[in-house]
């Protein structure tokens, strides 16, 4: 992916790593379109970044996703890249409370079905686009899960697998599929996470991610150094030790 001159859609672009990446790409002479569920934070983001466009989209609403895909490709025919970033993470104590089925299902629909549905709806357009790129967003926890967020980790592991299959299937058509694999980053993905001493500073994460994309435009994965402890644990024969550390 070449980081200038694109029209880029970023779901969940009104907060966290989505907003930070949207602003970084907006500054690189790309037309950036963001979505989110919160109209106020979408407006705040576009007000802070003149020229950026926003749409209110709930990634759990299949019908709305289909309608939005038709609208955004009609209003932005140059659209050639999408970051499937929108996601939620919720802690549960299975031993104490059991599985919270509504919460777990909301996580699955938002984090997994939402990206699948939006990609399916956009694919006919992307097949005609120059330099078409799909960026999925998994997590280091796709590779070493944390037991307090079982649905989140499972959806991110599924996104990793889906990205591999999608990349193989779309490569002959010239559509690039990149998996962006964040570590724990200082955002409010979970309440208070932006203040965790263990979290990677957001600005550092975005700067390193952009530098990696610049240096490796044909990359399959974007892996900042901080996430390699998790991403490479199984391959390096230290999965059990890393799992114990993450869940200590």
Q: What residues are labeled active site?
A: 152
Give which of 148, 158, 165 is closest to 248, Cα–Cα: 148
Give which of 184, 164, 200 is closest to 245, Cα–Cα: 184
Cβ 92 vs Cβ 123: under 8 Å: no
What SS3 string covers 112-155?
Answer: HHHHHHHHHHHHHHHCCCCCCEEEEECCHHHCCCCCCCHHHHHH
Give which of 58, 22, 30, 54 is closest to 41, Cα–Cα: 54
């Amino acid at each position: 992916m070449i980081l200038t001159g694109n029209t880029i859609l970023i779901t969940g672009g009104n907060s966290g790593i989505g907003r930070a990446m949207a602003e970084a790409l907006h500054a690189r002479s790309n037309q950036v379109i963001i979505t989110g569920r919160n109209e106020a934070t979408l407006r705040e983001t576009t007000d802070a970044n003149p020229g950026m466009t926003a749409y209110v989209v709930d990634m759990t609403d299949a019908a709305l996703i289909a309608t939005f895909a038709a609208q955004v490709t009609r209003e932005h025919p140059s659209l050639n890249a999408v970051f499937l970033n929108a996601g939620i993470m919720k802690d549960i104590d299975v031993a104490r409370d059991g599985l919270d089925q509504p919460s777990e299902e909301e996580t699955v629909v938002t984090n997994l079905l939402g990206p699948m549905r939006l990609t399916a709806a956009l694919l006919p357009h992307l097949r005609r686009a120059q330099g078409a790129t799909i960026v999925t967003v998994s997590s280091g926890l796709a590779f070493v899960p944390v037991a307090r967020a079982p649905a989140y980790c499972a959806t991110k592991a599924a996104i990793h697998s889906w990205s591999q299959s999608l990349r193989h299937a779309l490569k002959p058509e010239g559509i690039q599929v990149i998996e962006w694999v964040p570590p724990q980053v200082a955002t409010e993905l979970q309440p208070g996470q932006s203040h965790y001493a263990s979290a990677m500073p957001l600005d550092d994460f975005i700067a390193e991610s952009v530098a990696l994309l610049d240096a490796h435009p044909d990359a399959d994965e974007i892996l900042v150094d901080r996430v390699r402890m998790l991403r490479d644990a199984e391959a390096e024969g230290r999965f059990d030790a890393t799992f114990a550390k993450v869940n200590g």
